[in-house]
C-alpha cells in the first residue's frame, strides 16, 4: 500500500500491476463481477468495449472464464466506443471484425446484443445513426462498465484534442498523431481513414464504472498528464477526473512517469535503497545542472533529499558512492565476455544491429562463439516496391546469363500479378510473403557481415505466432516456445541477449520476450530471476553460470534506451565503432529511407541510434564521469 502522500498528485485511482497477464485477469474478473451482479438483479449487464492491443488480454481472459468457468454473455449488451469511417465490417481493420475475432464469436453473446458504430453509412446518414446509438444506450439502461484505452494524444475513444465535456456520439476527424500511430495497422499512414465515429466524452462519463488500461513505455508521458494534470479539452482523458468511479490500470512501464514512481522523494519519506539512491542522485545532478561530485547540501535540501545526506553523513559521501557505482558500470572490450557461447535474440531481422551493433562487433573480436537468432521473418515490414526491385535484379541476371527457367518465370508472374491486384492493407499471398522474408534474411546476413560475423552465425527461427501476414499476431504458443527452447538446449549459451524494449508499435518485441522467458523457464526452472533490475533492487556482479543457466542481458531497440541509472552495464563506442554500427544498419535497405513501421519518430533508424548512443555518452559526461563518444546500455535480468 502507498501512503496518501505518495498518491497526493494523482487525481484518479491508479493501480499498477507489473505482470500483463495478471492485469488482464484482474480487469476481466471485475467485468465478470459486473455481469453476474446485473444478472442476479434480473437485468442485462451493459458493457462499453474498446479495441486495440491493450484490451486483447482482457478479452482472452473473458473467453477463458466463459469456457472454463461458465461465465455467460447471454444476458449482456455491448456498445463499442468507436469505428473508423468509412469502414467495411469485414475489413481487416474493422473494429467490428476485431471484436468478433477476440470476443463476440467466442462466447454466447447473441449477435443482436452487440453494437458497434456502422462504418458503412453514407455521410448524410451518420448524424441520425449517432443519435440512435445514444438512444440505444439509454434504452439498455446505461453502461454499467466502460473499458477504455488511451491514445498518445490522450484521446479516449476517438475524442481527439478539442473534444468537449458535453460531446456525444459523432463523426470526428482524426488527429495527425493518431493516424500516424495507426499507420502500422494499415501498412502506411496514407491508408489510415481520416475520420471515425466515436462515443463522446459525455457518453463515456455517464457509465457507472470506468476502467482505463495502458501498457508500455510509450504511454507513460500521457498517463502522467491524464492522472496528474489539470482537466483540459486538449487531453480528453483528463475529463475522467470528474467521474466518481474510474480506475486507471497500468503496467510498470506505463506508470514510469508518475511522480510516485519517478521521483517519490518529492512527495514523502522514502527508504533509500541503493537503486533509489543512484536514481535520485542522477536525477538531482541533471536537474541542477552540476556534476555529481559537485552537488551540495543545499542542492539536496532544495529537492527533498536531506534525509539521504543524513543517512550517509555528508553530501560528499553520497556523491562519491553514486559516482563510483556509475563508473563501475562502464565495460570496454577488455571487460566483456571472451571465448564464451553467446546467443543474441533479434525479434526482427534488424534489431540486432540497431540495438547492439556495437557490442556485437566487440564480442566477435573477443573470440566468442556467437549465434544471432532472428525470431520472426519481418516480412510484413517490406514494401511491395522492394519485391519488384529484387525481381527486376534477378530477371536482369537471368537474361544476361541466357537462363531459361520456366519455374522462375511462373513464380515471377504469380508475384507480380498478386502485387498488381493487391489492395492496401490486404494479406500477401504466400509467394509474396516468402519473397519478403528472403529479402529480410539476406539483409540480416549482410548486416552480420558488416559486424564482423558471417551467415554461419545466423539462425532464422520464423516463429509461428508471427506468420499471419498481418500486423495482428497470434498469441505466443507452445510451438514458439519449443523452437526457442530447442535452440538454447542445442547451443547451451553462457550469455543470452534479449530485446527488453516494450515500446515497439506492433508489440512483437514483447511477444518474442514472452517466448524466450517460457523457454528459459522450461530449461532452467530454478534459474535465479535475480539479479533482476528493478527500481528497488540493485544487481550484483555474480558469475554467469549459476546453476548452468545463462546470464540474460536486456537491450532496448529503436524506440528508447535504458537510463544510465537503471542500466547494469554501459558499453562505450568510439566514433569509428559507431560509424561501423551505422553501416551495418544501412545493410537493411528495405527499412532505410522510409520504414513501413516508424512509430511516432520520423527519423530513420540509424539516425535514432546515432542520437541515442551519443546522448547516453553525453549524460555520463554531464554527470562528471569519463567522456566517451557514444554508449550502448544493457540491463542484466
In this prediction, residue 329 carries a pLDDT of 97
The H-or-E segment that residue 373 falls in is strand 369-374
DSSP single-letter state for residue 13: E
Sheet containing 13-16: which strands, arranged edge to edge? 13-16, 246-250, 209-214, 145-148, 45-49, 76-80, 114-115
- Do 171 and 270 share a domain, yes or no? no
Helix (H, G, I), strand (E, B) or coil at 475: coil
Q: CA separation (Å) from 613 to 437, 554, 561, 569, 577?
A: 29, 16, 8, 14, 11
- Do 437 and 493 share a domain, yes or no? yes
- Do 118 and 237 share a domain, yes or no? yes
- Do 116 and 32 share a domain, yes or no? yes
Rounded distance between C-alpha atoms, residue 603 and residue 408, angstroms? 37
CATH number for the domain including 441? Answer: 3.40.50.10320
In sequence order, the β-bridge partners of residue 80 are: 49
- Do 76 and 208 share a domain, yes or no? yes
Report yes or no on 106 lying in a domain: yes
Q: What angle do CA 517, 500, 338 make, to 5 degrees?
A: 85
Burial class (CB in 10 A: 0-12, 13-18, 19+), 438: middle
What's the distance, CA 192 to chain centroid?
A: 21
The backbone torsions φ and ψ at residue 170, rounded to the nearest 5 degrees and listed phi first, read -165, 170
Report yes or no on 582 lying in a domain: yes
Report yes or no on 438 lying in a domain: yes
In this prediction, residue 416 carries a pLDDT of 86
The H-or-E segment that residue 85 falls in is strand 82-85
The pLDDT tens digits for 459-492 are 999 999 988 876 667 889 999 999 999 999 999 9
Report yes or no on 6 lying in a domain: no
- Do 342 and 288 share a domain, yes or no? no
Handedness of CA 292, 298, 300, 302 (dihedral sign): negative
Answer yes or no: are the C-beta atoms of 240 and 222 closer than 8 Å. no
Report yes or no on 398 lying in a domain: no
Report yes or no on 129 lying in a domain: yes
The pLDDT tens digits for 184-232 are 677 778 889 999 999 999 999 999 999 999 998 889 999 999 999 999 9
- Do 243 and 276 share a domain, yes or no? no
Q: Which structural domain, as residue segments, surrounds residue 533?
A: 337-381+428-636
Residue reference for cell 536537474? 287
Rounded distance between C-alpha atoms, residue 581 and residue 350, angstroms? 12
Report yes or no on 4 lying in a domain: no
Answer yes or no: are the C-beta atoms of 425 and 184 closer than 8 Å. no
Answer yes or no: are the C-beta atoms of 497 and 346 closer than 8 Å. no
Nearest to 605 by CA among 177, 378, 596: 596
Report yes or no on 156 lying in a domain: yes
Beta strands (DSSP E) in 86-148 are 114-115, 145-148
DSSP single-letter state for residue 279: H
Beta strands (DSSP E) in 17-73 are 45-49
In this prediction, residue 114 carries a pLDDT of 98
In this prediction, residue 186 carries a pLDDT of 77
Residue 175: asked if its preceding bond is cis (omega within 30°), the reply is no
Domains identified in the chain, total number? 3
- Do 274 and 242 share a domain, yes or no? no
Q: CB neighbours of 51 closer than 8 A, spacing ≥ 6?
A: 80, 81, 82, 95, 98, 99, 149
Rounded distance between C-alpha atoms, residue 503 and residue 555, angstroms? 12
Q: Which residues of 291-308 are buried (b: 16+ CB within 10 A; e: fewer)?
A: ebeebeeebbeebbbeeb
Rounded distance between C-alpha atoms, residue 103 and residue 97, angstroms? 10
The grid coordinates listed for 241 are 477526473
In this prediction, residue 400 carries a pLDDT of 66
CATH number for the domain including 155? Answer: 3.40.50.1360
- Do 233 and 343 share a domain, yes or no? no
The grid coordinates listed for 237 are 482523458
- Do 610 and 519 share a domain, yes or no? yes
In this prediction, residue 540 carries a pLDDT of 35
In this prediction, residue 478 carries a pLDDT of 95
- Do 252 and 301 share a domain, yes or no? no
In this prediction, residue 422 carries a pLDDT of 83
List, by residue number, the catalytic residues: 160
In this prediction, residue 500 carries a pLDDT of 85
Which residues of the chain have a pLDDT value below 50? 505, 529-547
Helix (H, G, I), strand (E, B) or coil at 242: helix
Of 202, 231, 260, the one marking the end of a domain is 260
Answer yes or no: are the C-beta atoms of 616 and 561 closer than 8 Å. yes
Rounded distance between C-alpha atoms, residue 159 and residue 164, angstroms? 9
- Do 126 and 274 share a domain, yes or no? no
Instruction: Indicate the pairing of strand 209-214 with strand 145-148.
Output: parallel
Rounded distance between C-alpha atoms, residue 118 and residue 306, angstroms? 59
Nearest to 589 by CA among 461, 430, 444: 444
Nearest to 159 by CA among 214, 205, 98: 205
In sequence order, the β-bridge partners of residue 209 are: 145
Instruction: Indicate the pairing of strand 45-49 with strand 246-250.
Output: unpaired
In this prediction, residue 610 carries a pLDDT of 94
Answer yes or no: are the C-beta atoms of 369 and 377 closer than 8 Å. no
Amino acid at each position: 500500500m502507498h501512503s496518501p502522500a505518495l498518491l497526493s498528485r494523482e487525481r484518479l485511482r491508479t493501480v499498477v500491476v507489473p505482470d500483463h497477464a495478471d492485469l488482464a485477469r484482474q480487469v476481466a474478473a471485475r467485468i465478470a463481477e459486473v455481469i453476474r451482479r446485473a444478472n442476479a438483479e434480473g437485468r442485462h449487464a451493459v458493457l462499453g468495449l474498446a479495441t486495440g492491443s491493450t484490451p486483447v488480454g482482457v478479452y482472452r481472459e473473458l473467453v477463458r472464464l466463459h469456457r472454463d468457468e461458465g461465465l455467460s454473455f447471454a444476458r449482456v449488451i455491448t456498445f463499442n466506443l468507436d469505428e473508423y469511417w468509412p469502414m467495411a465490417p469485414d475489413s481487416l481493420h474493422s473494429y467490428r471484425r476485431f471484436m468478433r475475432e477476440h470476443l463476440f464469436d467466442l462466447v454466447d453473446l447473441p449477435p443482436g446484443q452487440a453494437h458497434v458504430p456502422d462504418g458503412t453509412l453514407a455521410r448524410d446518414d451518420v448524424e441520425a445513426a449517432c443519435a440512435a446509438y445514444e438512444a440505444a444506450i439509454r434504452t439498455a439502461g446505461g453502461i454499467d462498465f466502460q473499458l477504455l484505452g488511451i491514445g498518445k494524444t490522450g484521446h479516449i475513444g476517438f475524442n481527439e484534442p478539442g473534444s468537449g465535456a458535453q460531446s456525444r456520439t459523432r463523426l470526428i476527424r482524426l488527429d495527425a498523431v493518431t493516424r500516424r500511430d495507426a499507420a502500422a495497422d494499415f501498412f502506411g499512414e496514407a491508408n489510415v481513414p481520416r475520420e471515425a465515429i466515436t462515443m463522446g466524452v459525455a457518453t463515456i462519463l455517464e457509465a457507472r464504472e470506468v476502467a482505463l488500461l495502458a501498457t508500455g513505455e510509450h504511454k507513460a508521458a500521457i498517463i502522467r498528464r491524464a492522472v496528474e494534470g489539470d482537466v483540459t479539452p486538449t487531453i480528453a482523458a483528463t475529463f475522467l477526473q470528474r467521474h466518481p468511479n474510474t480506475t486507471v490500470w497500468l503496467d510498470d512501464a506505463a506508470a514510469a512517469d508518475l511522480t510516485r514512481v519517478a521521483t517519490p522523494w518529492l512527495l514523502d519519506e522514502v527508504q533509500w535503497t541503493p537503486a533509489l539512491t543512484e536514481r535520485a542522485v542522477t536525477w538531482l545532478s541533471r536537474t541542477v545542472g552540476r556534476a555529481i561530485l559537485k552537488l551540495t547540501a543545499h542542492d539536496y535540501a532544495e529537492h527533498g533529499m536531506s534525509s539521504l545526506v543524513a543517512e550517509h553523513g555528508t553530501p560528499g559521501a553520497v556523491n562519491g558512492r553514486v559516482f563510483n557505482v556509475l563508473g563501475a558500470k562502464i565495460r570496454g572490450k577488455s571487460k566483456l565476455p571472451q571465448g564464451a557461447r553467446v546467443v543474441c535474440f533479434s525479434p526482427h531481422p534488424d534489431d540486432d544491429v540497431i540495438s547492439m551493433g556495437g557490442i556485437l562487433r566487440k564480442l566477435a573480436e573477443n573470440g566468442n562463439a556467437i549465434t544471432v537468432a532472428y525470431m520472426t521473418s519481418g516480412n510484413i515490414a517490406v514494401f511491395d516496391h522492394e519485391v519488384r526491385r529484387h525481381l527486376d535484379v534477378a530477371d536482369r541476371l537471368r537474361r544476361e546469363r541466357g537462363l531459361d527457367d520456366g519455374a522462375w518465370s511462373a513464380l515471377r508472374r504469380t508475384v507480380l500479378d498478386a502485387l498488381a491486384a493487391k489492395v492496401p492493407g490486404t494479406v500477401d499471398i504466400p509467394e509474396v510473403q516468402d519473397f519478403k522474408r528472403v529479402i529480410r534474411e539476406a539483409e540480416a546476413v549482410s548486416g552480420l557481415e558488416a559486424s564482423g560475423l558471417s551467415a554461419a552465425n545466423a539462425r532464422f527461427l520464423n516463429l509461428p505466432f508471427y506468420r499471419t501476414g498481418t500486423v495482428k499476431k497470434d498469441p505466443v504458443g507452445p510451438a514458439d516456445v519449443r523452437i526457442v527452447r530447442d535452440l538454447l538446449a542445442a547451443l547451451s549459451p553462457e550469455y543470452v541477449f534479449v530485446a527488453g524494449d516494450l515500446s515497439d508499435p506492433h508489440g512483437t518485441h514483447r511477444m518474442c520476450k514472452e517466448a524466450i522467458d517460457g523457454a528459459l523457464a522450461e530449461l532452467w526452472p530454478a534459474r535465479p530471476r535475480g539479479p533482476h533490475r528493478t527500481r528497488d533492487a540493485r544487481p550484483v556482479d555474480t558469475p554467469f553460470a549459476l546453476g548452468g543457466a545463462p546470464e540474460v542481458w536486456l537491450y532496448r531497440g529503436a524506440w528508447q534506451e535504458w537510463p544510465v541509472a537503471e542500466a547494469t552495464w554501459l558499453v562505450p563506442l568510439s566514433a569509428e565503432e559507431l560509424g561501423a554500427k551505422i553501416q551495418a544498419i544501412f545493410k537493411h535497405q528495405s527499412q532505410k529511407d522510409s520504414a513501413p513501421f516508424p512509430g511516432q519518430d520520423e527519423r530513420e533508424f540509424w539516425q535514432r541510434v546515432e542520437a541515442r548512443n551519443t546522448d547516453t555518452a553525453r549524460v555520463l559526461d554531464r554527470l562528471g564521469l569519463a567522456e566517451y563518444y557514444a554508449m550502448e546500455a544493457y540491463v542484466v535480468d
